[in-house]
């Protein structure tokens, strides 16, 4: 089996609740995975949950539950959310799974045996909320720490450290030699700036069990558990190794214990092609993670793709202010594809975005209901009305427009430029809607002498709808499928190659047209949706 295109997301902290930011990231990765599959590559999409650490332990204790039981309950909520988002995931990792823990332990054993880890005392200011020691740089001018760090206390403890010094220069070289390793460029520059201006301090990779027991024990020192970030980052690699990617597991051969059982498999996933993450965790992914891998003799991932953060109404989303966008509620009210469309169309991968309900509704109305929805509905309704739903002989008046959009969309998808791809696809929606207005098939239908011209126009419109279904598949899989069904086509529009012009054969009978995006009174809720008559 050849190597699959392997895309991952950050694994979410199990003790939070899924919100717009988590959903956005998972949808980005889903579109990337679906696009690759559509383009003919095998792809593997991994997401999951980060379940160890102080916060989870504290939250479980607060609810009077054992941490594992607490995680098991919440994992159901997160997995349901992944299903609700229509994610085409191939696996769902939970860091409490034995398959993951066994690989983390093997990594630790190897690094320890090579002398990459050492034990030393440390005195410092510790943020309990963020589970991290703070440095003098974190102090405010008045000497206090920002309340965002939560309770900060001085702590002295012995811990295990990962030697970083020897890794700084090769990492700089690697990032410079591989411009796509960290994307977009603004994030790449940020990482390079950091690496060139500061000496990397050794990374503390343990927590004393006396303070935190909810973690993976260090295999060489039973008084400690592994730092949650070392554990969490390893998920990207542990799952391929555990699923039987033997090339992935090879560098750790001899360091697994008897709890590790990978099936014999021809699966090839590692190295990851894209790690999709948010801007707050770039340092972990673009600095610590490559260093961990390099030290363990494991090949590096090809790309860390960094998206920006969503705000709501210009403010940080926060439970206390009550301005959190709940993806489930939006999907229940507006439909999954409307949600997927909005987040991908509104925000390019990189900058920060701002969710407003008004902005969401405006795009829904203009681009989905009046744009794509109206095009498909009026094209198919006219074909039904004027030709009894039978496709006329092929004609290629819009073939060049569609061909250009197809070529540009392919390039955009290959570069994970998802907003760019959507803009491009919508240029075809707009072109076809204008074509209806210019050719006025409803007038042609009144003149028997224009029957051939009407055939041509109807073919171009129906075929454009078919092409759009294929192009839209990675973004709006359910809408794309509905368009195919309404066209009377069997199977899924999931092969990019099928977008080539001329796929609709003459004489083919289409199905029943129906509105794709119900028009809504912008001010009303879904209970009062109006299925407006589509206008020709």
Cβ-based nearer residue to ligand MSP, 277 or 391: 277
Instruction: Report the residue number, 201 or 280, with the smaller CB distance to ligand MSP.
Output: 280
Residue 191: name the closest of 42, 291, 124 by CA: 291
Q: Residue 17 Cβ, how far from ligand MSP at the closest point, in Å?
A: 10
CB of 309 to ligand MSP, least distance (A): 4
One DSSP character per residue, 469-507 reads HHHHTTT-HHHHHHHHHHTT--S-S--GGGGSTT-SPTT
Residue 479 tokens, joined: 């809408």
Nearer to ligand MSP, 13 or 341 (CB): 13
Residue whose CB is less far from ligand MSP, 268 or 275: 275
Give 155's strand partners: 124
* Whole-number Cα distances in Å, 361 to 18, 367, 476, 500: 22, 10, 17, 33
Question: At its nearest, how many Å lie between ligand MSP and the CB of residue 354?
Answer: 11
Q: Residue 446 is encoded by which pair of tokens?
A: 């009144």
**Residue 141: Cβ within 10 Å count:** 5
Which residue, among 305, 425, 410, has the nearest Cα to 36 in the 3D structure? 410
Nearer to ligand MSP, 22 or 384 (CB): 22
Q: How far is the CB of 258 from ligand MSP (least distance, A)?
A: 27
Cα–Cα distance measured from residue 457 to residue 287, given in angstroms and rounded to the nearest whole number: 56
Q: Are 323 and 315 in contact (CB under 8 A)?
A: yes
Would you say 32 or 445 has its CB closer to ligand MSP? 32
Residue number, nearest CB to ligand MSP: 278
> 507-522 in b/e burial notation, b at 16+ Cβ within 10 A?
eeebeebebbbbbbee
CA–CA dist 206, 200 (Å, integer): 18
Return the number of the residue (144 or 315) whose C-beta is nearest ligand MSP. Answer: 315
State the minimum distance, in angstroms, from the CB of residue 293 to ligand MSP: 13
Contact 206, 225 (CB under 8 A): yes
The distance of closest approach from Cβ of residue 90 to ligand MSP in the complex, given in angstroms and rounded to an integer, is 18
Q: How far is the CB of 276 from ligand MSP (least distance, A)?
A: 8
Binding site for ligand MSP (CB under 6 A): 10-13, 16, 21-22, 24-25, 50, 232-233, 277-278, 280-281, 309-310, 317
Q: How far is the CB of 301 from ligand MSP (least distance, A)?
A: 12
Measure the CA–CA gap between 143 and 135, rounded to whole angstroms: 12
**Alpha-carbon distance 213 to 27, whole Å?**
34
Least distance (Å) from ligand MSP to the CB of residue 281? 5
**Class of residue 184 by CB neighbours under 10 A (exposed 0-12, middle 13-18, buried 19+):** middle
Cα four-point dihedral sign 220, 221, 227, 231: positive
- Taking the least distance from each CB to ligand MSP, the nearer of 56 and 382 is 56
In the complex with ligand MSP, which residue's Cβ is closer, 315 or 524?
315
Nearer to ligand MSP, 258 or 320 (CB): 320
Minimum CB separation from ligand MSP for residue 236, in Å? 7
Q: In whole angstroms, give the CA distance from residue 465 to residue 185.
A: 36
20: preceding bond cis by omega (within 30 degrees): no
């Amino acid at each position: 089996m050849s190597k699959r295109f392997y895309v991952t997301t950050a694994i979410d902290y199990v003790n939070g609740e899924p919100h717009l930011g988590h959903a956005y990231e998972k949808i980005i990765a889903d579109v990337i995975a679906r696009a690759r599959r559509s383009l003919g590559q095998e792809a593997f999409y991994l997401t999951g949950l980060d379940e160890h650490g102080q916060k989870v332990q504290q939250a479980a204790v607060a609810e009077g539950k054992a941490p594992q039981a607490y995680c098991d309950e919440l994992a159901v909520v997160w997995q349901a959310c992944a299903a609700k988002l229509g994610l085409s995931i191939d696996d769902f990792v939970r860091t409490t799974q034995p398959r993951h823990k066994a690989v983390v332990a093997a990594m630790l054993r190897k690094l320890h045996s090579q002398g990459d880890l050492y034990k030393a005392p440390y005195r410092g200011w510790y943020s309990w909320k963020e589970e991290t020691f703070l440095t003098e740089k974190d102090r405010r001018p008045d000497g206090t720490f920002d309340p965002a760090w939560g309770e900060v206390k001085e702590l002295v403890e012995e811990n295990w450290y990962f030697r970083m010094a020897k890794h700084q220069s090769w990492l700089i070289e690697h990032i410079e030699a591989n411009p796509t390793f960290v994307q977009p460029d603004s994030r790449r520059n940020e990482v390079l700036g950091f690496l060139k201006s500061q000496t990397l301090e050794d990374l503390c990779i343990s927590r004393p069990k006396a303070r935190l027991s909810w973690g993976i024990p260090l295999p060489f020192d039973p008084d400690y558990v592994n730092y949650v970030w070392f554990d969490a980052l390893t998920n990207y690699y542990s799952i391929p190794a555990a699923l039987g990617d033997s090339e992935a597991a090879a560098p750790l051969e001899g360091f697994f214990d008897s709890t590790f059982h990978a099936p014999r498999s021809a699966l090839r996933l590692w190295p990851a092609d894209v790690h999709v993450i948010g801007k707050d965790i770039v340092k972990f992914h673009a600095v610590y993670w490559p260093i961990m891998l390099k030290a363990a003799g494991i090949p590096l991932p090809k790309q860390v793709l960094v998206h920006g953060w969503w705000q709501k109404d210009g403010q940080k989303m926060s439970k206390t202010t009550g301005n959190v966008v709940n993806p489930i509620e939006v999907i229940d009210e507006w439909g999954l594809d409307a949600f997927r469309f909005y987040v991908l169309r509104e925000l390019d991968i990189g900058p920060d975005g701002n969710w407003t309900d008004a902005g969401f509704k405006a795009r829904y109305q203009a681009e989905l209901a009046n744009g794509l929805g109206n095009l498909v509905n009026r094209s198919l309704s006219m074909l039904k009305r004027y030709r009894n739903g039978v496709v006329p002989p092929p004609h290629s008046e819009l073939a060049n427009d569609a061909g250009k959009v197809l070529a540009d969309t392919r390039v955009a998808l290959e570069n994970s430029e998802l907003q760019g791809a959507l803009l491009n696809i919508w240029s075809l929606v707009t072109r076809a809607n204008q074509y209806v207005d210019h050719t006025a098939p409803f007038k042609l239908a009144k003149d028997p002498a224009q029957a051939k011209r009407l055939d041509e126009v109807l073919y171009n419109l129906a075929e454009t709808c078919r092409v759009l279904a294929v192009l839209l598949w990675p973004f709006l899989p359910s809408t794309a499928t509905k368009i195919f069904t309404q066209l009377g086509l069997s199977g899924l529009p999931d092969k990019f190659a099928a977008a080539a012009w001329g796929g609709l054969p003459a004489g083919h009978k289409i199905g029943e047209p129906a509105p794709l995006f119900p028009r809504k009174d912008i001010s009303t809720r879904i209970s009062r949706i109006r299925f407006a008559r589509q206008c020709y």
